[in-house]
Structure 1
Amino acid sequence: VGIRLPKVEVRYEHLNIEAETYLGSRALPTLVNSAQNIAELALAMLGIRLSNPTKLNILKDISGIIKPSRMTLLLGPPSSGKTTLLLALAGKLDPSLKVSGEVSYNGYKLNEFVPQKTSAYISQHDVHVPEMTVQETLDFSARCQGVGTRYDLLSELARREKYAGIYPEPEVDLFMKATAIEGAESSLVTDYILKMLGLDICKDTIVGDEMIRGISGGQKKRVTTGEMIVGPTKTLFMDEISTGLDSSTTYQVVKCLQQIAHLTDATIFMSLLQPAPETFDLFDDIVLISEGRIVYQGPRAHVVEFFESCGFKCPERKGVADFLQEVTSKKDQAQYWADGSKPYSYFPVTEFANRFKKFHVGVQLANELSMPFDKSRCHKAALVFSRYSVTKLEILKACWDKEVLLMKRNSFFYIFKTTQIIIIAVFASTVFLRTRLHHRDEADALLYNGALLYSLITNMFNGYPEISLMITRLPVFFKQRDHLLYPAWAFAIPLLVTKIPIAIFETIAWMTLTYYPIGFAPGADRFFKKMLVVFMIQQMSASLFRLISGICRTIVVSNTGGMFALMFVAFLGGFSLPRKLTKAYFYETAQIPKWWKWGYWLSPLSYGYTSLSVNEMYAPRWINRRASDNVTKLGEAVLEELEIYRNKNWYWVGVGALLGFCILFNVLFTLALTYLNPPAGPQAVLPQDTGDETDSQSNPTRATTKKGMVLPFTPLAMSFDKVNYYVDMPAEMKAQGVAENRLQLLREATGAFRPGILTALM
């Protein structure tokens, strides 16, 4: 009926990307180098530069067009700049990189719309929530991405069909309507993508990780792809999605993506590692990059012709993709030289790039780039100008459902944690048993104060496991945040609220097992007021350790920060050292130093300690007795000796302060998740001679230099005979009616590996 689908044409012109890096031993991640990097970074903020890192050119003045409705393959040897190019086009480059040139979508620059929502970058790293099943992972992604313009297009389609008297097939009509529904917990699009990627057989299996048995590595790679294509985004930058997949599965996935590109006018730019010939033939265009330069960009049909014009020919024994990977390599190029009239000499990458500019495909590309994109041709729905695709309420609902699901899947952890605090409460109640405690004088009161202090410290430590829990969740959060699936607050709010019922149950368990067995002040009001303080301490502690993990972002640094925080709040909490000297202390060193007095007011435990002590010592059995001087009330005398304020209102001051700390820590946690980036991964250490001088054209004679040596070793043979391997039957297979309790993976496997024989496992 004449509806024009949205299309996106991506252009990059004179794109240069440069990084500053250290070489050789200076790049090693040693303690000295790390400290030096931190010091230099701090001085750089003040405008002082002590060292000049080496500048590394990653991409060098490249230009090109990624066209819609066409499958474009990105090829190149390792470290040629493929990932950097994909990240640059997706608008996800590291801010520390120096970038020049221009990237545009349909003529719009990256700062004129939201490229992270208009396009999707699919990483080569598989980062998923291990406790969620495959279908749950894709369903959550679909809920957060929404349906985009499907509903509007469907409405316009229905209107035009009705006007033209066209009645669609019922199955097609039902499918299109189902895929346009927003907010559904499970989408028909998810089922379609699962079927397309061959994941329908494991859709109810958890993804798993190193500690939890789940799907295979190849299936995880397909989940990574499906997580992005399940949404409405039709501009896809895919980075080596075939890693871990067999050639048959890779062909199937690429074939489906080819149909998406051709039928829905999608723009797909994909890098693959050594694709099979049948997979290579599915692509319409080829981009070959080497040493940061574009060697060829254009139709697949002309790529062999271009290299033949340069004197290189692809032999019949070799696939075209493998030929393209090796023809620019110093060590592999010579075997493809086919011009018998000239002796072979190394053909540098810069010469290939210059030859391509004169090749007819390169000339046509230059002509297209010289003509600016006509913005009037841009469909109004082609680009996305809002950061999130669905309403804030729908995002919050999706994150809430996900958090509740993860709590159910991690129920063992919470049961174990609650059991642990119950056991500790039983120990505490037997150590401070009421039959052995009295309330006659200051000495008795100090024993009760010790029990209060034990409650304070125990419930403070109860929040420490939040560090490890959060650290395991952060990689997935950072990935989904950077894809703009949801903001940080939508992640933080359900995380906080869903933990409250568990904290309430643990507080009730602790109070029930310790309050009356120890013999604290009788009375329901004292009981519930202490329960409130214990609950607030638990919430404050969990919020504090979540904040530490959100700032530190690695388990080693977070544990260090957590122990430092515990030391700070404990030493300055007013119970390890008092605020000032009293008659109970005899040495000048037994108080908080004057220059640390501010720490007392910043320690949450000082407020919790004050509230617990005031609540207990103002009970009638303490306040109606006289101290040893027969003048002061016993409860107030004890508070004075402990250097705690003698006023009933300080109970509520402490509760209010703990509530304020909870709010502050959660706000800071949300801000940390919003603005901090994931920690940098391990970097390759570049040799000392790396730099512009190592460019291939600077020393062509090195291409013929060959080195080698023989290392002596003892040849060994390995054999295995009738090996059988069993695992527990997956719950999903039992649900399908499988009666056996064990699943056999290896059956009577017998074989041998011999020295000097290269064996392939297929």
Structure 2
Amino acid sequence: MSVNLESGKTMLEHGPEALNRFLASSFEPAIGSEMPQLEVRYKNLSVTADITVTEDVTAKSEIPTLYNTVARSLARMSPLRRVVRKEVIKNASGVFKPGTITLVLGQPGSGKSALMKMLSAQFPVESNITVEGEITYNGVPQKEVIKRVPQFVEYVPQTDKHFATLTTRETLEYAHKFVGAGLAEKGAETFTKGSVEENLAAIEAAKAYYQNYPDVVIGQLGLQNCENTIIGNAMLRGVSGGERKRVTTGEMEFGMKYVSLMDEISTGLDSAATYDIICTQRSIAKTLHKAVAISLLQPAPEVFALFDYILIMNEGEVMYHGRREDVVPYFESLGFKCPADRDVADYLLDLGTRMQHQYEVPLPLGMMKHPRAASDFAEAFSHSRVYADMVGMIEAPMEPELAKHMSEYMDPVKQFRRSWFRNIGALSVRHMTILWRNKAYVASRIVMTCFMGLIYGSTFFDVDPTDVQVMLGVIFQAVLFMSLSQASQIPVFMEAREIFYKQRGANFYQTLSYVVGYSIALIPPSLFEIIIFGSLVYWMCGFVANAGAYIIYLVLLTLTNLVLSTWFFLLTALCPNLDIAKPMSTFSIVFIIIFAGFVQPKSEIPDYLVWIYWINPIGWCMRALSVNEYRSSKYDVCEYGGVNYCSEFNMNMGEYYLSQFGVPSSKTWLWTGAIFMFLFYVFLLGASTYLLEYRRYLAPTNIQ
């Protein structure tokens, strides 16, 4: 069957299954073999976590406050701490073969999500986590390709974290932009083993497919009615919960993925939508030879029947992993019969729990008792024929064709599809779009900036430069207002961090690209605010009427604003949650204000704390702006207001008034202040990048 390649809509005219068959029939002759395949094997896989147990646990002690967080941190460092070992996955072995679709069943906390994250190289392996066993991809150990695994193994998470003001289409198009770049060109390089006509047909199909892939995903997941609707959140109306779940699934579909691991993708979906999605995934597995594993909660019988294999987990134990048609007979052989009026999936989920008694029947010959705990079922499974068949597949030599696919299609894949520079551009545009769509925030900032500028300007209208305390106070307040107002972005930064964790885990983009791109996106609104507020204060308060001094004033305010916004960004990378980041920002603001050199002059700061004065960006900006004002040509004179400062104080007018507050008067402080703030800004960007890359808050640290 031919497919119209004009658009994503026309490509799906005959349904997803017809499109998949067309792609396979177009690509396979041109590559001289079946579609590239990836087989995932894991053997004796165990994951344990050493977790500090907090004593006297109460509801109050579990609230994520600054005090409780510090107390738990101190408890983990105490020599008297009590550590328990939690087994997340216990000696699991299995294989996900190309061309098959596996249903993963398990109660919450069963370990199924941890297994999927381990196989997709997205499990947060930290110092308290121990991993044993081996995972291979077409025979290659995971540790050899761990940084590149997300490029060919997709993991769809349970949680739906998206930017609320982006539409469904925009969310999917950005995913395509990050991980789908260059795939059509890459495909053209591999389509060389067929006839000229076959190669050209494959190239044409690949270009059309990847060019229209967002439309294809939208059509496959039934998102046409909400493609131009914003995602929304608890405070902003957007798509429905089921549609949001489908966006989460679609976002991870982009790129050249050979294995799909999907974690509870049916939450919020009706049975018909779930059936359609699983049918599409089954078609992809069968025609494009992908390995697909999907965990579902209580799938309907018609959905259950679509799977080839069933994997059942409970308490980290594998209770069963084998063919779907063998699962009911297997558990009947253990003395558990599924009633005719009970869905098989519900029956299987009840095994290993207190609900299993309703299924018990007389034991077969040779069995002494029914299995009770998950460990009993795992022990019984390890002695079964089904397990022996699975071990046989794990121990079987790797097919030469799979090894060839690894070297030809997976090995050349880089960790990221696009350069960090190109990703910076895309991320900057994305975050600018998100920022400007928050109309309430933008409008309130504009009104507040204009209002506060007029308040400051009218209150300190045309300040007498000889009243140095008032003049420096105006400078201090202007710097403080423009810089510390960025603290309001902390909740936005924290929300974006969760989305970054997901997308960075999937190798969408480099951490440096995210940090720099986000910072660039903050520059236009900052410039807008600074020009409005800074101009009102500068001209109404009677600062020196000099174009050069005015431009320097705006530049210094902009640099300080960037430094402080990056500081608050750093705090969100450093702190585990918003409840810690907010008090930490307040704590830092107190230090910034006290040690800026105005509230407490440098001469009155204790020697052991003076270092805070020298690293304080507000202090550096204040010194530079003070020099910019008082060392201008208007005040850089001996005689002013009838007083000869050179003869009376042995310094000119500007130097004299700067000395009253211990402000150094050399004009070099203008450019040294600017250089310091720029270097400090770069340092904060680097620190933020390091924390987001190597210190992510994904793993549990304490339990009751």
What TM-score, normalized to structure 2?
Answer: 0.87
Q: Secondary structure at the match of 1:229?
A: coil
Q: Secondary structure at the match of 2:410?
A: coil
- Displacement of 1:148: 7.0
The CA distance in 1 between the partners of 2:542 and 2:85, in whole Å, is 70
CA offsets, 1:508-534, max 9 Å, x none? 222332223222223223322222222
User: Are 1:383 and 2:410 matched, yes or no?
Assistant: yes
Q: Secondary structure at the match of 1:438?
A: coil
The CA distance in 1 between the partners of 2:265 and 2:316, in whole Å, is 21
- Hey, what does 2:92 align to over in structure 1? 62
Q: 1:154 to 1:264 in 2, by over 3 A?
A: farther
Q: 1:463 aligns with which of 471, 475, 486?
A: 486
Q: 2:143 aligns with which of 102, 108, 111?
A: 111
User: Are 1:405 and 2:433 matched, yes or no?
Assistant: yes
1:443-462 maps to which residues of 2 (within 5 A)?
A: 444-462=467-485
CA offsets, 1:46-75, max 9 Å, x none? xxx423322222322221111110001111
- Hey, what does 2:9 align to over in structure 1? none
1:299-318 maps to which residues of 2 (within 5 A)?
A: 299-318=323-342
The CA distance in 1 between the partners of 2:110 and 2:571, in whole Å, is 38
The CA distance in 1 between the partners of 2:572 and 2:140, in whole Å, is 39
**Mapped contact 2:420–2:512 kept (Cα < 8 A):** no
Number of residues of Structure 1 aligned to a counterpart in Structure 2: 655
- Hey, what does 1:242 align to over in structure 2? 266
- Hey, what does 2:541 align to over in structure 1? 518
Q: Secondary structure at the match of 2:34?
A: coil
**Mapped contact 2:483–2:561 kept (Cα < 8 A):** yes
- Hey, what does 2:242 align to over in structure 1? 218
User: Are 1:271 and 2:295 matched, yes or no?
Assistant: yes
- Hey, what does 2:113 align to over in structure 1? 83
- Hey, what does 2:131 align to over in structure 1? 99
CA offsets, 1:306-346, max 9 Å, x none? 12222322221112111211233233234342559899954
Please state which structure has a larger fraction of its residues in helix: 2
Q: 2:619 aligns with which of 606, 620, 626?
A: 606
Q: 1:197 aligns with which of 198, 214, 221?
A: 221
1:92-241 maps to which residues of 2 (within 5 A)?
A: 92-95=122-125, 96-113=128-145, 114-146=148-180, 151-154=185-188, 156-157=190-191, 160-162=194-196, 175-180=205-210, 187-241=211-265
**Mapped contact 2:261–2:292 kept (Cα < 8 A):** yes
The CA distance in 2 between the partners of 1:565 and 1:340, in whole Å, is 69
Q: Which is worse superposed, 214-223 or 648-657?
A: 648-657
- Hey, what does 2:575 align to over in structure 1? 552
Q: 1:354 to 1:217 in 2, by over 3 A?
A: same
1:651-730 maps to which residues of 2 (within 5 A)?
A: 651-678=670-697
What TM-score, normalized to structure 1?
Answer: 0.80
Q: 1:630 aligns with which of 639, 648, 665?
A: 648
Q: Tell me, which stretches of 5 or more residues in structure 1 are unaligned?
A: 44-48, 181-186, 581-590, 687-762
- Displacement of 1:291: 3.0
User: Are 1:282 and 2:306 matched, yes or no?
Assistant: yes
Question: CA-atom RMSD, angstroms?
Answer: 2.7
- Hey, what does 1:364 align to over in structure 2? 389
The CA distance in 2 between the partners of 1:598 and 1:358, in whole Å, is 68
- Displacement of 1:7: 1.0
- Displacement of 1:33: 6.2
Letter in 1 for 2:670: Y
1:3-14 maps to which residues of 2 (within 5 A)?
A: 3-14=33-44
Q: 1:35 to 1:430 in 2, by over 3 A?
A: closer
Q: Secondary structure at the match of 1:498?
A: helix
Letter in 2 for 1:579: K
**Mapped contact 1:611–1:650 kept (Cα < 8 A):** yes
**Mapped contact 1:418–1:506 kept (Cα < 8 A):** yes
1:429-440 maps to which residues of 2 (within 5 A)?
A: 429-434=457-462, 437-439=463-465
- Hey, what does 1:701 align to over in structure 2? none
The CA distance in 2 between the partners of 1:595 and 1:514, in whole Å, is 35
Q: 1:337 aligns with which of 361, 377, 392?
A: 361
**Mapped contact 2:449–2:533 kept (Cα < 8 A):** yes
The CA distance in 1 between the partners of 2:139 and 2:557, in whole Å, is 59
**Mapped contact 1:474–1:553 kept (Cα < 8 A):** no
Q: 2:72 aligns with which of 26, 29, 37?
A: 37
Q: 1:681 to 1:210 in 2, by over 3 A?
A: farther
Q: Which is worse superposed, 374-383 or 107-116?
A: 374-383
User: Are 1:535 and 2:558 matched, yes or no?
Assistant: yes
- Hey, what does 2:350 align to over in structure 1? 326
Q: 1:271 to 1:647 in 2, by over 3 A?
A: same
Q: 1:382 to 1:73 in 2, by over 3 A?
A: farther
CA offsets, 1:144-179, max 9 Å, x none? 112676544455446614267x996xxx97543212
Q: Secondary structure at the match of 1:63?
A: strand
Q: 1:570 aligns with which of 593, 596, 614?
A: 593
Letter in 2 for 1:432: F
- Displacement of 1:500: 2.4
Q: Tell me, which stretches of 5 or more residues in structure 2 are unaligned?
A: 1-28
Q: 1:517 to 1:33 in 2, by over 3 A?
A: closer
The CA distance in 2 between the partners of 1:680 and 1:370, in whole Å, is 32
Identity %: 26
